[in-house]
A and B are shown apart, each in its own frame.
Chain A
Amino acid sequence: MAKERINVPEPIVNIIDLSLYYGKVKALKSIALDISKKKITSFIGPSGCGKSTLIRCLNRMNDLIESVTIEGCIKIDDQDIYSPAIDVTELRRRVGMVFQKPNPFPKTIYENVIYGPRLMGIRKRGALDDICEKALKKGALWDEVKDRLHTNALDLSGGQQQRICIARAIAMEPEIILLDEPCSALDPIATAKIEDMLCDLKKDYTVIIVTHNMQQAARISDYTGFFMLGKLVEFNITTEIFTNPLEKQTEDYITGRFG
């Protein structure tokens, strides 16, 4: 069990005693942690430990599953995101998400990136062009696709498709970007590009990433949480977790003594 909550600088997300049930099954058990602004926080743990369930709580993706009930509270900028006053669409604009498998729309690269902003009502061509260029630059894809913005995004490689998805999330100017195993379907070169990009992105955004690749968590994140069986076992500065974890369960997992 996590013995005490560590104080992170400038917390933007506060997860307070959060439990989540799929029907009667308790998938998250009294999770409490803070996420620091403009840092990369990674969640690691064996399959089924609740890490993906947790990040899906942060933009209320779990609302789409009927059997889910939630106890406790998540605050973003001191605002309870499960309060009835919250506009979920606006919440998902502020908290973008990228999934495991690249899922670009079957449209052009350009249309993919400006899809969200256009839906939000931006119509002017010049403004949309600017948004597209900025987002693709932040997504470290601009140089590779600037001459073929109007070709189908599905013609791109897996790594490029995933960066399109990240650029699509960035185009909405979110504050927080959630990534659920974004590199698990990618080769090491594409993975390295995404990792570099994420390190750049934290200048402007708060990044939360779920990963099965512990080296990836060690390489890119500032803070790491280790989950097991729905509990947060340990949450600390990444270098501490990977060099001198406080909990035996964390040590056993990261050194491969169980799994």
Chain B
Amino acid sequence: MTREAYHKALKTLEDEVLFMGEMVSNAIRKSVESLQKRDIAASKEIVKNDLLINKKRFDIEEKCISLIATQQPMAVDLRELTSILSIVTDLERMGDHAEGIAKINILLGEGPLVKPLIDIPRMADIGLSMLDKCLKAFVNRDTETARRICNEDDQVDALHDQIYRELLVMMMENPRIIHMATYLTWVSHNLERIADRVTNIAERIVFMVTGRMEEINVSKY
């Protein structure tokens, strides 16, 4: 009764989730790079490519539903499929946040920013590293790493608070930059949400492996 074709299909699905993860990771990295470099053309490319991420999400969802309908998965397989449905939703939203950053860059137009970007790229680096580790934990069924990732979210939250405070002070000192500074707080917010969504994925990985739904890092707010 071993079901080779079915298990092969599950493995292929896993590879597709990784591929989608890479697409999202690239979008996030490029969105912050294009903001730093003030590269409007690159941002427009990110906005365009977000459609591919959305399409990938629907493809994976369809395959999950088809496997559920045709193979009646049980136990760990059922948990994996339902987790994938949730993971691709988070990945797709992370893609939207990257698109959001790209759109802000387009709205800001050409010209220098009010301040050099230091903490925003740092937030992006931490978020991307969290995502990378999370995708590896997904493949390796590694709950220990998944739990650790959730704690890293605190660093991203702290940076977001810091950026918000700094920009607020700058806006009070010079109201003419309110327009640009508000956009930058939105960039920071997008990155903060990206890290939150990585923790959602990490929680799903823990569920996938253990069967228990846990909220691992509860927001301090």
Contact = CB atoms under 8 A, between A and B. Distances in A.
Interface of A: 46, 214-215, 218, 242-245, 250-251, 254-259
A258 B78 contact: no
B2 interface: yes
B79 A257 contact: no
23 contacts: A46-B1, A242-B78, A243-B74, A243-B211, A244-B75, A244-B79, A244-B210, A244-B211, A244-B212, A245-B75, A251-B75, A251-B76, A255-B73, A255-B75, A255-B77, A256-B1, A256-B3, A256-B7, A257-B3, A258-B1, A258-B2, A259-B1, A259-B2
B91 to A, nearest CB: 24
Contacts of B1: 46, 256, 258-259
A244 B208 CA distance: 10
Given A256-B3, A257-B2, A258-B2, A242 B74 contact: yes
A68 B79 CA distance: 42
Contacts of A256: 1-3, 6-7
Contacts of A218: 74
B140 interface: no
Interface string B57-90: 0000000000000001111111100000000000
A256 B67 CA distance: 14
Given A243-B211, A244-B211, A255 B76 contact: yes
Contacts of B212: 244
Contacts of A245: 75
A259 B1 CA distance: 5
B84 to A, nearest CB: 15
Nearest to B1: A259
B165 to A, nearest CB: 45
Contacts of B3: 256-257
Nearest to A255: B77
Nearest to B82: A243
Interface in B168-220: 210-212
Nearest to B6: A256
Nearest to A256: B3
A242 B77 CA distance: 10
A214 B2 contact: no
Contact of B75 (A242, A258, A259): A242
A244 B77 CA distance: 10
- 8 closest A-B pairs by CB: A259-B1, A244-B211, A256-B3, A254-B74, A251-B75, A255-B77, A242-B74, A215-B72
A245 B210 CA distance: 10
Contacts of B75: 242-245, 250-251, 254-255
Interface in B103-158: none
A55 to B, nearest CB: 22
Contacts of A255: 73-77
Q: Which of B2, B3, B74, B211 has the most CB of A within 10 A?
A: B74
A242 to B, nearest CB: 5
Contacts of B211: 243-244
Contacts of B210: 244
B97 to A, nearest CB: 32
Nearest to B3: A256
A46 B1 CA distance: 9
A250 B2 CA distance: 14
Contacts of B74: 214, 218, 242-243, 254-255
B78 A257 contact: no
A244 B79 CA distance: 8
A184 B178 CA distance: 73
B214 to A, nearest CB: 13
A243 B76 CA distance: 7
B72 A257 contact: no
Q: Which of B2, B6, B76 has the most CB of A within 10 A?
A: B76
Contacts of A259: 1-2
Nearest to A253: B1
A250 B78 CA distance: 14
